[in-house]
Structure 1
Amino acid sequence: MASLTRPRYLPMTLAAATIAVTCMVAAVPPGDAAKAGTAGRQAKPTVVLIHGAWADTSSWDGEVSLLRKAGYTVRAIGNPLQNLTTDAQTVRDFLKSIKGPIVLAGHSYGGSVITNAAQGVSNVKALVYVDAAAPAVGETTGQLSGPTSVLTKKPPSDLYDAVPYANAPSKASALYLKENVFVTKFASSVPHEQAVNLWATQRAATTVAFQTPSKYAAWKTIPSWYFISSGDQIITPDSEKKMARRANSKVTIYNGGSHLTLVSDPAAVTKVIRAAISSVK
């Protein structure tokens, strides 16, 4: 398992830098410079980020900013949070619109979505699970939180505000996390005021989304990376480690954090995404 350490950078003198640049320029014939630059850009994978339940695309804002500054094309797209099968189809259709290699990352329930959406999309070259579920065929997301998860230990009435929604199947509800659960369990690593704002703007996930069996397990054929926060109280580290082992994922354990480490420390999550990017040839 990898651990997160700050990289060390060696200083380069101005003269050395000038020599290096001169050599690089001389190595590429003038007529081929533009072509070589274009080829380099085309070789970079597109990073697609899928958010989880009780969140939206803004949960990836930090990672999007860091990856774009590093020169990558990044897309964080909306996850319907309605039904695992149809949510995955929505993402799969988007993936098919992208040319070139893709690194696909999912947070929380978004991990279940990428596990299904990547199936049959040949240009998805790497999967990244961020405090996420990675179901096997037949498993539901709701089964994977772990026995010590707050979602398992507390009764639903203590966890959620359940409300009806249009065209819902029988007995289905849209679930909103209660404020105290969101702030103290879901987002405990996020500053309090920011956590309250995130609670106020959360998107509901349906009961159906958590109860839909997974149809595919793309991690069986696509290399995967797993970012696990030791402080996650929603999908427990023990549950994530088991899923990572069976997927043969490259694992990074983050000391502390919460289920929203992607918000509180996007640099740490980005480091793992960039490791996956580096594997794409």
Structure 2
Amino acid sequence: MTVADVVLVHGLWSDGSSWSEVIPFLHDAGHRVVAVQLPLTSLEDDVVATRRVLERMSGPVVLAGWSYGGTVITNAAVAASNVSALVYVAAFAPDKGESSFQILQNFGATVGEAVQPYEDGLCGLDPDRYREVWAADLPAVRAEVLAAVQKPSALTCLETSSGEPAWRSIRSWYQVAEQDRALPPVAQRFMAERMGAVTTSVPASHSAPHSRAREVADLITRAAVSTA
């Protein structure tokens, strides 16, 4: 059995518990797992929070990101000598100088219509549209809970340009969510191909870590085995 340190990075409007369904499968596979708690105050702050966790790990580390978490791992893994693999789950994988928002614009994403601006530059998803846009394959009760516990996030997280991408130097895997209404599947496939990632797909909404936890965990384990 290949045992790896696995670091999981969540997306906007959420926290580390986004991986709560995935983690038991990773534990069953023998991996040591830490889910980062991002402040979601800026891309820079989120990268710093992730690097702090990476510095605690002995490695090799499989670093996985979901949604905006993909932008975070793309930047956090640069110069991280203990990261052996990057795994993107329905995630942004920006190139240098590209922002998450630009990717959404380039592929005609409409998720912005469901974003509610708050005070101080923070935002969230409209609870009435949360399931439709974010979690269409989850039971209504589950989606309502996730909508209720959203963590307000800074708009600048999406607007900040990415630095040199770690996927240029670290082997990458990508899982496309084929029923995603937030980050269009065509955008996901474009990014996966651009980075030369090993690519799989699941019939899932944007909330694949919740609805397809086993498949997500299996891909992370596959990356761990391939880079051991």
With normalisation by structure 1, the TM-score equals 0.78
Deviations along 1:96-147, whole A, 9 cap, x unmatched? 1211210000000000000000001111000000000000011111111253
1:227 match: 175
1:111 match: 70
* Residues in 2 aligned to 1:143 and 1:180: alpha-carbon distance in whole angstroms: 25
Question: Which of 259, 269, 274 is the equivalent residue of 2:216?
Answer: 269
1:81 match: 40
1:194 match: 142
Question: Which of 118, 123, 141 is the equivalent residue of 1:163?
Answer: 118
Q: Match of 1:96, SS?
A: helix
Question: Which of 158, 162, 178 is the equivalent residue of 1:210?
Answer: 158
Deviations along 1:51-107, whole A, 9 cap, x unmatched? 001111111011111111221100111011121122112211220121121000000
1:90 paired to 2:83: no
Deviations along 1:220-278, whole A, 9 cap, x unmatched? 00000000111001111111111111100000011x21000110120111111111011
* Residues in 1 aligned to 2:30 and 2:141: alpha-carbon distance in whole angstroms: 32
Question: Which of 151, 169, 182 is the equivalent residue of 2:111?
Answer: 151
2:226 match: 279
Q: Which amino acid aligns with 2:15?
A: D
Q: Which amino acid aligns with 1:196?
A: E
| 8 Å contact kept, 1:45–1:280 | no
Query: Any unmatched runs of 5+ in structure 2?
Result: none
Q: Match of 1:132, SS?
A: coil
Q: Which amino acid aligns with 1:73?
A: R
| 8 Å contact kept, 2:174–2:197 | yes
1:122 paired to 2:69: no
- Superposition RMSD on alpha carbons, in Å? 1.4
With normalisation by structure 2, the TM-score equals 0.95
Query: Any unmatched runs of 5+ in structure 1?
Result: 1-39, 166-172
* Residues in 2 aligned to 1:181 and 1:162: alpha-carbon distance in whole angstroms: 14
| 8 Å contact kept, 1:79–1:110 | no
* Residues in 2 aligned to 1:250 and 1:280: alpha-carbon distance in whole angstroms: 12
* Residues in 2 aligned to 1:104 and 1:252: alpha-carbon distance in whole angstroms: 17
1:25 match: none
Q: Which amino acid aligns with 1:204?
A: P
* Residues in 2 aligned to 1:197 and 1:163: alpha-carbon distance in whole angstroms: 20
State the percentage of identical aligned residues.
35
* Residues in 2 aligned to 1:225 and 1:44: alpha-carbon distance in whole angstroms: 18
Give 1:180 deviation, angstroms: 2.4
| 8 Å contact kept, 1:105–1:114 | yes
Q: Match of 1:68, SS?
A: helix
* Residues in 2 aligned to 1:206 and 1:246: alpha-carbon distance in whole angstroms: 27
